[in-house]
Structure 1
Amino acid sequence: MKDIETRGDIELFMRSFYEAMLNDPAISYVFTDVAKIDLEAHLPHLTDFWEQTLLRKGTYRKNVLQIHLDLNDKERLTNEHFEVWLNHFTTTVDKLFQGKNTERIKTIALSVASVMKIKMYPQKH
């Protein structure tokens, strides 16, 4: 298997990843009923984000945290949602790719999920 090297690789991964999530009742409703995403319209934005994050290419300029904070206002994103998301992310990327960038994207995904949870649910002191 090859590593993630191009925008096309990321697009293939994102398409497979979202197909898996949209077929999982534990999380699919967040995309279909709450966010009401149109995958074909959303896919270029997802690809832009990961291309910028992993390959340091592209022009993604949206605030990914704010998008998810707004979503969380509509439907509370739980630890289970994050676990399901990370599980599909890791499983899908491992089915398609292997290498340095493949390992790096999994680490980045864990970091992104962790930061989002911290920002959504700050600890009270």
Structure 2
Amino acid sequence: MRATRDISDRDDLDVLLRRFYGAAFEDPLIGPFFTEIAGTDLEVHLPRITDFWERALLRSAEYGRDAFAPHAALHSARPLTAAHFGRWVQLWHASVDGLHQGPLAERAKGQGERIAVAMLRRLAGPGTATGGGGGGFVPLAALALRSAA
């Protein structure tokens, strides 16, 4: 079944983020950052990250946290690379595409890409490769996440 409707509310974001983080936690490349290094408790993290995306996409929530600080702490423990952020983008795109289509879904994917590039540049320096030749983002691929559950 193909996604047919756009992201419309916080409930949609909750389902999307649970799907995304389920895949991210299990991913062999980025999963350890969530499970081993950060020890992320999804039930604690989810309301915060939903606030972030609700503000970014729906303009209807407050988010006053520093989104960079946790990533800087992770980077200090184990360097985050373009491949890590590329996998994040890959899983994010696939999660969005598996559930939604429309202007807000496209905005969510674009925003995710911009956030990944900004985080990578801030952590690794402005000259960091983010695409194209060696060291760039992992290319998007057809993933099981793209088929709606």
How do residues 52-71 of structure 1 correspond to structure 2 at under 5 angstroms? Answer: 52-71=55-74
**Equivalent position amino acid for 1:46 in 2:** I
Q: Partner of 2:51 in structure 1?
A: 48
Partner Cα distance (1:103, 1:10) in 2: 14
Whose RCO is larger (CA < 8 A, sep 6+)? 1
> CA offset at residue 3 of structure 1?
0.3
Backbone CA RMSD of aligned residues? 1.1
Q: Work out whether 1:11 is the aligned partner of 2:14.
A: yes
Q: Work out whether 1:117 is the aligned partner of 2:120.
A: yes
> CA offset at residue 28 of structure 1?
0.8
Q: Which SS does the other structure have where 2:6 is aligned? A: coil
Q: Work out whether 1:37 is the aligned partner of 2:40.
A: yes
Q: Partner of 1:26 in structure 2?
A: 29
Structure 1 consecutive aligned stretches of length 4 or more whose deviation exceeds 3 Å: none
Per-residue CA distance 1:52-87 (angstroms, 9 max, x = gap):
111111111101012211221111111111011000
Judge which range, 62-71 or 31-40, deviates more.
62-71
Judge which range, 10-19 or 23-32, deviates more.
23-32
> CA offset at residue 46 of structure 1?
1.1
The number of residue pairs the alignment matches comes to 124
**Equivalent position amino acid for 1:90 in 2:** H
TM (normalized to structure 2)? 0.80
Query: Percent sequence identity over matched residues?
Result: 37
> CA offset at residue 31 of structure 1?
0.4
**Equivalent position amino acid for 1:106 in 2:** K
Partner Cα distance (1:115, 1:67) in 2: 14
Judge which range, 96-105 or 62-71, deviates more.
62-71
Partner Cα distance (2:10, 2:105) in 1: 13
Pick the aligned partner of 1:76 from 75, 79, 85: 79
**Equivalent position amino acid for 2:76 in 1:** D
Residues 75 and 97 of structure 1, relative CA distance in 2, 3 Å threshold: same
Ranges in structure 2 where 5+ consecutive residues have no aligned partner = 128-149
Counting helix residues as a fraction of each chain, which structure ranks higher?
A: 1
